[in-house]
Amino acid sequence: MTKIRPIRSYVLRQGRLTKYQSIALKDLSANLMIPFERSLINFNDFFETNDKKIILEIGFGMGDTTAEIAETLVDVNFLGVEVHSPGVGNLLNRINEKNIKNLRIIQHDAVEVLDFMIPNNSLDGIHIFFPDPWHKKKHNKRRLIQTSFIEKIQHKLKNEGYIHIATDWEDYALWILDSFKSLENFTLKSTDFFEKPSYRPNTKYENRGIRLGHRVWDILFIRQ
């Protein structure tokens, strides 16, 4: 029987690890990373202060924005999920250098992390910043944000929990809004869905786009 391979929303381009990133993966992983397991996570086992809100970030890239948000929102615990080793190594170094206590990492496919590790009604928020737009129409099926994916993550959020998605592709922004339409228990936080919350800093990629006249859409939905 032929096994059907799932459609991935990412391409695993590991790139070249710097020596600094490689050392971080070797020396810092034991204390700062959570290994993927097919069992529900107990957040209290991994954060020093465990009465805080829990925010999951899916696909943090190089992690600089993730680290900055965690440093700003010290009363929140953050769990970052990323598959690419250079980004994981970079964020490990940032956590170590800045002594960030409220941020941990899982290096694995986010869909499987959600399926097997995240308890229902456990998250106060989910951040998804600049997911791959897969802008060619024939590749739209690879987009992370689909109604089926939203149905999956809605069970992981607490009541009044939020999803914050940022994209610099207008077509994807409209696609995201359309994907939420069939789900009655999500409310768009503001009709000005392109307004950036103060806690999200601009990325280097984003600043370059802004200088070129590109627009960024920040979309926030609240689970009711």
Asked, for residue 3, whether it belongs to a domain, the answer is no
Residue 195: per-residue pLDDT: 76
Q: What pLDDT was estimated at residue 3?
A: 45
Query: Residue 93: inside a domain, yes or no?
Result: yes
pLDDT tens figures, 16-46: 899 999 999 999 999 999 999 999 999 999 9
**pLDDT, tens digit, for every residue of 101-150?**
999 999 999 999 999 999 999 999 999 999 988 567 674 787 999 999 99
Domain residue limits at 66: 19-33+48-223
CATH number of the domain that 87 lies in? 3.40.50.150
Which residues, including other chains, have CB under 8 Å from residue 26's CB and lie 6 or more apart? none
pLDDT grade for 49, boundaries at 50, 70 and 90: confident
Listed residue (117, 102, 108) closest to 72, CA to CA = 102
Q: What are the percentages of helix, strand and coil residues in the chain, rounded to 5?
A: 35, 20, 45
- 168 catalytically annotated: no
Specify the pLDDT at position 12. Answer: 54
The pair of three-digit structure tokens given for residue 28, joined into one six-digit string: 């810092």
In total, how many domains does the chain have? Answer: 1
- Is residue 106 in some structural domain? yes
Would the pLDDT of 76 be above 80? yes
Candidates 132, 171, 178, 192; catalytic one: 132
Whether the pLDDT of residue 192 is over 80: the answer is no
181 in any annotated domain:
yes
